[in-house]
């Protein structure tokens, strides 16, 4: 299947282990409501080739179905999945990974992430648990079953713990990132460590679209407010993973490489008042906003 919105080869990054990854992807959380593969199939048709799923989302089987129906070769896709909080620990990782492969009807993952650093904020022995979990991820990687391994929602202190005792560095950290919640310290730390950042909720689940600065930049660059948010990730070397259920918005969210924002506007976005946070933080109970 061909689509004019498929990212070009140069619209990708090379991870710290040499693996190539598309510069934008599609988020599948809540993308199979009504228990259907339709939304994900539309995303494939719109040109997405990088898909973010997780055992927690319940979308792995729908992604497998959409891929099968698309007829696209497995090698042309970049599939990311994640290990849930209840699947941490050496043996649990092996079982969870096998289940994920079975759900996805594939024999390898392009990227596998630890979803959260702590099973819950009160968990005191998280350092040992994370290191043991990472050891299992490393073993799967060295067996050739995963092309790259990484983490999600890890802050610098969580990553330092992994780095203090690892054979393989995380290649990616997937964190909440959008104008109004750009986690500058975590992003800077990852860049310094050559860990690529992926942005979850890159359009802040619409919470930030009406912010005056985003509206103003949308008029200035003649693109949608969502594209301003997504380009704010792209121009900082971060991979956005938007989710949408409508083909026109899916295409719009991939159309990120035909315009460029001025550096001063990137700084404005990076320093705008903090807003639109999801309420999720690895070290704290979820704040309901
Ligand atoms: N690692 C983690 O812990 C974690 C946590 C959360 C999410 N994620 C990943 O990140 C992905 C994206 O995050 P998300 O789904 O939370 O938030 P998001 O992508 O920021 O926002 C999705 C919302 O924005 C709307 N939308 C999409 N494109 C739009 C456009 N061009 N204009 C206006 N509205 C638009 C969607 O509505 P429509 O569907 O109606 O278009 C949907 O309501 C998830 O699917 C998941 O893969 C990871």
Is residue 11, in this structure, part of any structural domain at all?
Answer: no
Give the ligand 1 atom nearest the CA of 204: 20
Per-residue pLDDT band for 289 (boundaries 50, 70, 90) equals: confident
- pLDDT beyond 90 at 101: yes
Quick count: other Cβ atoms within 10 Å of Cβ 257? 15
Kindly give, in sequence order, each residue whose CB lies less than 8 Å from that of residue 181, ignoring residues fewer than 6 positions away: 204, 274, 275, 276, 277, 278
Mutational test site, ligand 1, from 24, 25, 27, max ligand atoms within 8 Å of CB: 27
- Spatial separation of the C-alpha atoms in residues 119 and 153, rounded to whole Å: 12
Is residue 268, in this structure, part of any structural domain at all?
Answer: no
Is residue 265, in this structure, part of any structural domain at all?
Answer: no
* This prediction's pTM: 0.97
pLDDT (0 to 100) of residue 9? 56
pLDDT (0 to 100) of residue 76? 96
pLDDT (0 to 100) of residue 33? 86
Number of structural domains the chain divides into: 1
Is residue 157, in this structure, part of any structural domain at all?
Answer: yes
Q: Could you tell me which residues are beta bridge partners of residue 149?
A: 112
Task: Give the CATH number for residue 37.
Answer: 3.20.20.100
Q: Which domain holds residue 159?
A: 16-205+238-244
Is residue 10, in this structure, part of any structural domain at all?
Answer: no
What's the mean pLDDT in 224-247? 98
Strands (E), 74-134: 78-83, 109-114
Percent of the chain with pLDDT over 90: 96
pLDDT (0 to 100) of residue 34? 81
Tens-place pLDDT, residues 125-183: 999 999 999 999 999 999 999 999 999 999 999 999 999 999 999 999 999 999 999 99
- Spatial separation of the C-alpha atoms in residues 196 and 174, rounded to whole Å: 8
pLDDT (0 to 100) of residue 2? 34
Instruction: Name the closest-CA residue to atom 33, ligand 1.
Output: 226
Catalytic residue, chosen from 48, 57, 177, 189, is 57
Tens-place pLDDT, residues 106-131: 999 999 999 999 999 999 999 999 99
| Of 76, 66, 65, 7, the residue nearest 42 (C-alpha) | 66
Which residue is listed with tokens 């404005």? Answer: 268
Instruction: Name the closest-CA residue to atom 44, ligand 1.
Output: 27
């Amino acid at each position: 299947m061909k689509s004019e919105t498929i990212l070009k080869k140069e619209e990708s990054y090379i991870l710290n282990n040499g693996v190539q990854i598309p510069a934008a992807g599609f988020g599948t959380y809540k993308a199979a409501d009504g228990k259907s593969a339709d939304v994900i199939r539309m995303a494939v048709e719109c040109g997405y080739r990088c898909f973010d799923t997780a055992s927690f989302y319940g979308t792995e089987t729908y992604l497998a179905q959409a891929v099968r129906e698309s007829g696209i070769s497995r090698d042309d896709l970049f599939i990311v999945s994640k290990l849930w909080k209840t699947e941490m620990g050496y043996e649990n990782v092996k079982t969870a990974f096998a289940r994920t492969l079975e759900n996805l009807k594939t024999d390898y993952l392009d990227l596998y992430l630890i979803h959260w650093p702590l099973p819950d904020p009160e968990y005191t022995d998280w350092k040992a648990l994370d290191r043991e979990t990472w050891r299992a991820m490393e073993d799967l990687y060295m067996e050739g079953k995963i092309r790259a391994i990484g983490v999600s929602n890890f802050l610098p202190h969580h990553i330092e713990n992994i780095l203090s005792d690892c054979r393989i560095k995380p290649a990616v950290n997937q964190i909440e990132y959008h104008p109004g919640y750009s986690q500058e310290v975590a992003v800077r730390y990852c860049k310094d460590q050559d860990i690529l950042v992926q942005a979850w909720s890159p359009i802040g689940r619409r919470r930030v679209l009406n912010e005056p600065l985003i509206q103003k930049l949308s008029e200035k660059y003649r693109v949608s407010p969502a594209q301003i948010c997504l380009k704010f990730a792209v121009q900082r070397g971060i991979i956005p993973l938007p989710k949408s259920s409508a083909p026109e918005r899916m295409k719009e969210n991939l159309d990120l490489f035909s315009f460029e924002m001025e550096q001063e506007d990137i700084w404005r976005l990076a320093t705008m008042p903090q807003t639109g946070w999801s309420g999720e933080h690895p070290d704290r109970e979820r704040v309901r906003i």
